[in-house]
């Protein structure tokens, strides 16, 4: 037994020597699932994921200007594709880790109806929306309003968030009656956590394919490669799905 215990200790020590950190830029809409995935990843691998959350467009600017990120989990597929074409990624590492769902949400029960008629009524003070220039969910929201022929009518009521997390905060704190947010922010295990919501039909905007890619600074990082592989595991995919994302 003593010999077995000594062997286990030595194996754990050896694993610790090879464990490392990986710096990850994560789209704000993926905050909750990624926090859970990162914790599970650390338990399973010993590697530590250092997470930064924000708008995909801002991450792009930081990455091309030398930010020390090794892995990007974007809110779209165009930004990783652009980074790949510009030589800022590890070729062949990009894949779609989630397909996002846009919803119209209010913290007030029964305020948002199942068809989004509240938008046409105009009976709300402010409409929260993420910056469509840097946040893919904001761009999808603008597409949706154009599809409904409501953009011009509701634009004066916009309160714009820097990213989808700030957009949610505006609604949660009452600074806006309602807002376009990611389903993952207010749903868990298929249930709305609070308030009222309308799930935007997929045909109202371009699909929100969310791609992950290893960045150039992570090309020699075992932790970056391990985390990318873990994102494809059944355990990680189950977490992603539990937050209302679709999978490819």
The predicted structure's pLDDT at residue 10: 43
Residues 163 and 87 in one domain: no
Domain membership of residue 132 (yes or no) is yes
Using pLDDT thresholds of 50, 70 and 90, give the confidence band for residue 25: very high
| Average pLDDT value for residue range 50-64 | 96
| CA dist., res. 199 & res. 100, Å (int) | 11
Residues 81 and 55 in one domain: yes
Using pLDDT thresholds of 50, 70 and 90, give the confidence band for residue 18: low
Residues 95 and 212 in one domain: yes
Residues 92 and 145 in one domain: no
pLDDT value at 193 more than 50: yes
| CA dist., res. 14 & res. 11, Å (int) | 5
The rounded Cα 111 to chain-centroid distance in angstroms is 26
Please tell me the least confidently modeled range out of 8-17, 23-32, 47-56, 224-233.
8-17
pLDDT value at 211 more than 80: yes
176 φ, ψ to 5°?
Answer: -140, 140
The predicted structure's pLDDT at residue 11: 40
- Structural domain boundaries, residue 59: 2-99+207-242
CB 101 within 8 A of CB 108: no
CB 226 within 8 A of CB 242: no
Domain membership of residue 18 (yes or no) is yes
Last residue of a domain, one of 199, 216, 234: 199
The arrangement of strands across the sheet holding 21-27 comes to 48-54, 21-27, 71-73, 208-214, 95-100
Residues 65 and 16 in one domain: yes
Bigger pLDDT: 43 vs 11 = 43
CB 141 within 8 A of CB 129: yes
Question: Token digits for 155?
Answer: 């634009």
The predicted structure's pLDDT at residue 200: 96
Residues 211 and 95 in one domain: yes
Cβ neighbors of 127 (< 8 A, separation 6 or more) are 119, 154, 157, 158, 159, 176, 177, 178, 179, 180
What is the three-class DSSP state of 71?
strand
Between β-strands 208-214 and 71-73, what pairing exists: parallel, antiparallel or unpaired? antiparallel
Q: How many other C-beta atoms are found inside a 10 Å radius of the C-beta of residue 225?
A: 19
Using pLDDT thresholds of 50, 70 and 90, give the confidence band for residue 190: confident
pTM, full prediction = 0.85
pLDDT value at 240 more than 90: yes
Residues 88 and 170 in one domain: no
pLDDT value at 22 more than 50: yes
CA torsion sign, 77 to 79 to 80 to 83?
Answer: positive
Domain membership of residue 128 (yes or no) is yes
Residues 94 and 111 in one domain: no
pLDDT value at 110 more than 80: yes
Residues 28 and 83 in one domain: yes
| CA dist., res. 230 & res. 234, Å (int) | 9
Cβ neighbors of 191 (< 8 A, separation 6 or more) are none
CB 69 within 8 A of CB 42: no
Residues 60 and 27 in one domain: yes
| Average pLDDT value for residue range 182-208 | 93
How many domains is the chain built from?
2
We report the CATH number of the domain holding residue 85 as 3.40.190.10
Please tell me the least confidently modeled range out of 127-131, 170-174, 242-246.
242-246
Using pLDDT thresholds of 50, 70 and 90, give the confidence band for residue 3: low
Domain membership of residue 247 (yes or no) is no
Domain membership of residue 7 (yes or no) is yes
Residues 11 and 23 in one domain: yes
The predicted structure's pLDDT at residue 223: 97
| CA dist., res. 175 & res. 128, Å (int) | 8
Domain membership of residue 213 (yes or no) is yes
What is the three-class DSSP state of 47?
coil
The predicted structure's pLDDT at residue 248: 87
Residues 156 and 235 in one domain: no
């Amino acid at each position: 037994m003593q010999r077995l215990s000594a062997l286990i200790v030595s194996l754990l020590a050896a694993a610790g020597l090879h464990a490392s950190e990986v710096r990850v830029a994560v789209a704000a809409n993926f905050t909750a699932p990624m926090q859970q995935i990162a914790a599970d990843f650390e338990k399973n691998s010993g590697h530590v994921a250092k997470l930064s959350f924000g708008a995909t467009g801002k991450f792009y600017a930081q990455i091309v200007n030398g930010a020390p990120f090794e892995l990007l989990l974007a809110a779209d597929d165009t930004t990783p594709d652009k980074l790949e074409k510009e030589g800022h990624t590890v070729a062949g590492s990009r894949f779609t880790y989630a397909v996002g769902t846009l919803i119209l949400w209010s913290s007030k029960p029964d305020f948002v109806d199942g068809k989004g008629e509240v938008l046409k009524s105009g009976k709300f003070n402010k409409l929260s929306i993420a910056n469509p220039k840097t946040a893919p969910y904001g761009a999808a929201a603008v597409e949706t309003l154009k599809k409904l022929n409501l953009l011009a009518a509701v634009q004066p009521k916009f309160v714009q968030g820097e990213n989808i997390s700030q957009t949610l905060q505006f609604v949660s704190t009452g600074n806006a009656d309602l807002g376009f947010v990611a389903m993952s922010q207010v749903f868990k295990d298929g249930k709305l956590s609070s308030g009222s919501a309308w799930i935007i039909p997929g045909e109202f905007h371009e699909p929100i394919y969310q791609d992950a890619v290893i960045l150039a600074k992570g090309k020699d990082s075992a932790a970056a490669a391990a985390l990318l592989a873990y994102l494809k595991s059944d355990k990680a995919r189950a977490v992603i799905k539990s937050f209302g994302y679709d999978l490819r």
